[in-house]
A and B are shown apart, each in its own frame.
Chain A
Amino acid sequence: MSIVKCNHCHLEFNPNVMIKDGNLNFCCKGCQGVYHILKDDGLDSFYDKLGNKTIAPPLEVSNDDLSKFDSKNFLDNYSSTTKEGFTQIDLIIEGIHCAACVWLNEKILYETKGIVEANINFTSNKARIVWDSDKLKLSEIILKIRSIGYNAYAYDSSVADAQASKAKRDYFIRMMVAVIASMNIMMLSVAKYTGFFTGISEEVKNMIHIGEFILSTPVLFYSGWIFFKGGYYGLKNRMVNMDFLVASGSTLTYTYSMFILFGAKGESYFDSVSMIITFVLVGKYLEVIGKKSAVDTLDKIKSSLPLEAVVIQDDTKKVVALNSIKLDDVIEIKAGDKVPVDGIISKGEGFFDESTLTGESIPVYKKIGDSVFSGTINSNSLIEYKVTKDFKNSTFSSIVTLLEDSLNSKPKIQTQAAQISRYFSLTILSLALSTFLVWYFLGLDLGFNYAGANHFEKSFIVAISVIVIACPCALALATPMASLVGISELAKKGLLFKEAKFIESLAVANKVVFDKTGTLTKGELNVVKMRVLDDNIHKLNLLYSILCASTHPVSISIKNYLKEKYALTEKKLDNVKNIEAKGMSAAYTNIEGKTFELLGGNLELLKQNDIHYKFDSNKTVYLFAINKKVIATFELEDEIKDNAKDLIEFLQNKNIEVIMLTGDNENVASNIAKQLGIKSYLSYQTPISKAQYVKELRKQDNVVVMVGDGVNDSVALSSADVAIAMGNSADVALAISDVVLLNSSLKSLKDAFLISMKTYKFIKQNLAISLIYNTVTIPLAMAGLVIPLFAALSMSLSSLIVVLNSLRIKMK
């Protein structure tokens, strides 16, 4: 059987299910509608731009909420007025998959009369729209976007976002200036260093120095400004930080090179100045990008909450903005709605999808008196509930607030290399200072002669040469070089480290905290045991039919399991009833007119129907009965991931304590922990209690690694030393994490530990090499005995050794 592509979304389907429209095939009404709109508006070049890519079929959105976009309340909250008198709003566009989608949305907006500016950011899916409110209503703009199969949400564009964007742009320009200038300096350096071997005239060498001077000046004072600022604030807080050392080291080297440029004898090191600043700046830029994308995902999450809620007051319904909901208000939510604020159900009962909070995919049944939490989804019924917490203090909002806070106060990891280099650099600075004082006041002269320099200058040059020879070069390269090789090795195994420093933290970690669902287990129920007491195919067909009538994860899982084992057909059932939290009942009438009573569900359902069936199991159970006789039993369980046991054993052998936190119940938690050999676990954990646990561990001076995958883990992830997320995690978890396991496999997590430990060993080796080198050369420099050529060569040599040593990480 061949498959056919849908003409709009390019997804492939069986030809039987397609809607035929002339020569065209569509997978759904939505695709067909959008295709014709584009054709009529002359926008069909969208399909050329789309090429072979596929997009998601258009979202089905009802348009009855459009009026809220024009309410004064809404516009006051979300839009602003530009200085020209236009109205401006920030939206998040849902459904953007490719550049062609961005093009299409911008195009259709620009062709709408009254829209002045429509700029969609492809990376963050945020759009800024400026329009003339006299000519066009916001609802018309939203309708336009919806008509081509996308949807738009308003979001509160936060201060954090504006700051992050500004910082990103600023760092980008500074970094590019440094990179471009450094590249040019490197080209000049090639000429200079070749001159050492082939001979070079003083005049040409001076020319190169002038060129290097011109190029390195903006690098030090424009790009390096960040380090001056950082160092200044550090000193203000009585701290000598890395920024201060980069700034002072490069400024001194720069000054020394200036002396050389203006006639003193020796080698200039403008190239080292710009290289150090460029390398460190690139690292900082990556941090800034990471922060910006985290802010973007947080905005996306915030926009996923409804903007308003229906409040019932004295039998009348009123639409109210979330901020103005008061305690004890009664709120009504329809099926499929997100719960806007926390509360207690006062009317109705039904299933709630709490996966954002607990990580469990199975909906939770709730009745009158149970509490509901914001951010969860009401799956199937009309519910009224009493508000117990206002918007700001509700579960979902407090998670978002916690995450925002953690972005600004991400635990500072003091890596060992940073610590060593701090003491080292302080030592060097004081050595240089004392060298200067000794030379200047004691008038020491060991016979080394700087042409044309007076006594002060001479002492100064010797002092600086101490710093230059002890140049942070090898030391500064010790960690980054090894980390760089380590990171590329890790990337080959599908491990994405966002910053190099996490390699070291991972290598020295002594506690690893795991989330259960989705991390240690697969996060989906699978049939582990089936017993069929009567395998008459007609009876199994009835079982299959009752399974098909339900959308509960248990039914779906059993259905898929049965489909693989038997050839089954669906029969028409009558009187299908969904019994909340228990199962389903239905009736079937065969050709002879005989009626069968069908029951499918858990033990309680059978008990309710007077079937007393003995069945002992600590797993999820599904039973099927025809006319009160049990036909088949199933046991389901969330399966443990491959290699999980292996990983836990490995960690415990390395004396790393493993802890499991789960939102699931005690029974399941203890069962999984026993299977994996995990000694400590905590059940019934909320997102916030998980985070508190991690923070508590960190307070006791542990280096904590948190491994998780869901929105519910994100707060805990953000408070750990190293946050590791599975590749298929929720957006926030990915944005907040430091390491991503692209293939979500636990085997690569083991690799992450192994390679990090190996890399850390090499970092320590590199540090040792550069320290030994320095203890030999610094006394020489202090004595003023360093010959310029030797200084230049040995500096390159020490760096080279560090680089070559780091490359050994690649070797088995």
Chain B
Amino acid sequence: MINDTLFFMLIVGIIISAGMLLIFVWAARSGQFDDSSKMVNGLLFDSTEDLNDAINKEKNLKEAKSEKLKSEVEKLKEE
């Protein structure tokens, strides 16, 4: 019984750490650790304003992309 519990915990532990590792691998692949000095200093910039900026960045990027797509399509139509 005790051994079963021990084994269960061992497997659960490995699964959890594997999950964490996958998150880390994803983050590293997307380039979040490319700049070590910026990564370390990133901790300092966590005010509400900074977080809002980050969201706005994503939003602007999406908008710009769709806008560009529209204008390209229009250009093609004109031609």
Contact = CB atoms under 8 A, between A and B. Distances in A.
Interface of A: 45, 49, 84-86, 98-99, 102-103, 107, 110, 116-117, 120-124, 132, 134, 165, 168-169, 172-173, 176-177, 180, 184, 201, 203-204, 207, 210-211, 214-215
Given A99-B44, A121-B38, A86 B68 contact: yes
A102 B38 contact: yes
Among B20, B45, B72, which residue has the most Cβ atoms of chain A within 10 A? B45
Interface in B8-46: 10, 13-14, 17, 20-21, 24-25, 28-29, 31, 33-38, 41-42, 44-45
A99 B41 contact: yes
Given A85-B69, A172-B33, A207-B10, 17 more contacts: A49-B45, A84-B68, A86-B64, A86-B68, A99-B44, A102-B38, A107-B53, A122-B35, A122-B41, A124-B35, A168-B34, A173-B29, A176-B25, A177-B25, A184-B14, A207-B6, A207-B7
A199 B79 CA distance: 83
A268 B60 CA distance: 55
Given A45-B49, A86-B68, A116-B60, A215 B41 contact: no
Contacts of A123: 35-38
Contact of B38 (A84, A122, A172, A180): A122
A211 B17 CA distance: 12
A201 B3 CA distance: 10
A215 B36 contact: no
A296 to B, nearest CB: 11
A85 B68 contact: yes
> B-side binding surface: helix, strand, loop or mixed?
helix
A122 B37 contact: yes
The 7 residue pairs across chains A and B that have the minimum distance between CB atoms = A99-B41, A122-B38, A122-B37, A116-B64, A121-B35, A123-B37, A173-B28
A117 B60 CA distance: 9
Contacts of B13: 184
Contacts of B65: 84, 116
Given A110-B60, A116-B60, A215-B14, A165 B34 contact: yes
Nearest to A117: B61
Contacts of A86: 64, 68
A116 B64 CA distance: 7
A45 B44 CA distance: 13
B37 A99 contact: yes
Nearest to B61: A116
A86 B47 CA distance: 31
Contacts of B69: 84-85
A132 B68 contact: yes
A86 B24 CA distance: 30
Contacts of A203: 3
14 contacts: A84-B68, A86-B64, A110-B53, A116-B64, A121-B35, A122-B41, A124-B35, A165-B34, A169-B29, A169-B33, A172-B28, A176-B25, A184-B14, A211-B10
A791 B19 CA distance: 35
Nearest to A48: B47
Contacts of B21: 176-177, 180
A182 B61 CA distance: 40
Given A49-B45, A207-B10, A211-B10, A180 B17 contact: yes
Contacts of B60: 110, 116
A122 B44 CA distance: 14
User: Chain B interface: which size bin?
Assistant: 35 or more
Contacts of A122: 35, 37-38, 41
B36 A103 contact: no
B27 to A, nearest CB: 10
Nearest to B21: A180
A435 to B, nearest CB: 35
Contacts of B57: 110
B49 A169 contact: no
Given A107-B53, A121-B38, A214-B14, A85 B72 contact: yes
A214 B17 CA distance: 12
A169 B17 CA distance: 21
Nearest to B71: A134
Contacts of A98: 41
A731 to B, nearest CB: 16
Contacts of A165: 34
B65 to A, nearest CB: 5
A122 B34 CA distance: 10
B45 to A, nearest CB: 6
A176 B24 contact: yes
Contacts of B37: 99, 122-123
Nearest to A188: B10
A501 B56 CA distance: 49
Contacts of B35: 121-124
Nearest to A289: B36
Q: Which of A86, A116, A204, A215 has the most chain B CB within a 10 Å cutoff?
A: A116
Given A84-B69, A86-B68, A121-B38, A211 B49 contact: no
A276 to B, nearest CB: 20
B68 to A, nearest CB: 5
B33 A211 contact: no
Contacts of A121: 34-35, 38
A122 B37 CA distance: 6
A107 B3 CA distance: 56
B38 A173 contact: no
A172 B44 CA distance: 24
A124 B57 CA distance: 23
Contacts of B31: 169
Nearest to B28: A173
A169 B68 contact: no
Given A172-B28, A184-B14, A49 B38 contact: no
A802 B4 CA distance: 40
Contacts of B10: 207, 210-211
Contacts of B53: 107, 110
Nearest to B2: A204
B64 A132 contact: yes
Which one of B7, B28, B64 has the highest number of Cβ atoms from chain A below 10 Å of its Cβ? Answer: B64
Contacts of A103: 45
A214 B10 CA distance: 11
B6 A204 contact: yes
A418 to B, nearest CB: 29
Contacts of B28: 169, 172-173, 176
A804 to B, nearest CB: 32
A98 to B, nearest CB: 8
A447 B28 CA distance: 53
A680 B47 CA distance: 62
Contacts of A107: 53
Nearest to A184: B17
B48 to A, nearest CB: 11
Contacts of A215: 14
A134 B47 CA distance: 34
A49 B71 contact: no
Contacts of B42: 99
Contacts of A49: 44-45
A204 B2 CA distance: 10
Contacts of B29: 169, 173
A116 B61 CA distance: 6
A124 B35 CA distance: 8
B3 to A, nearest CB: 5
B46 to A, nearest CB: 11
B45 A99 contact: yes
B11 to A, nearest CB: 8
Contacts of B25: 173, 176-177
Nearest to B17: A184
A99 B75 CA distance: 41
Contacts of A214: 14
Contacts of A84: 65, 68-69
Contacts of A134: 71
Nearest to A86: B68
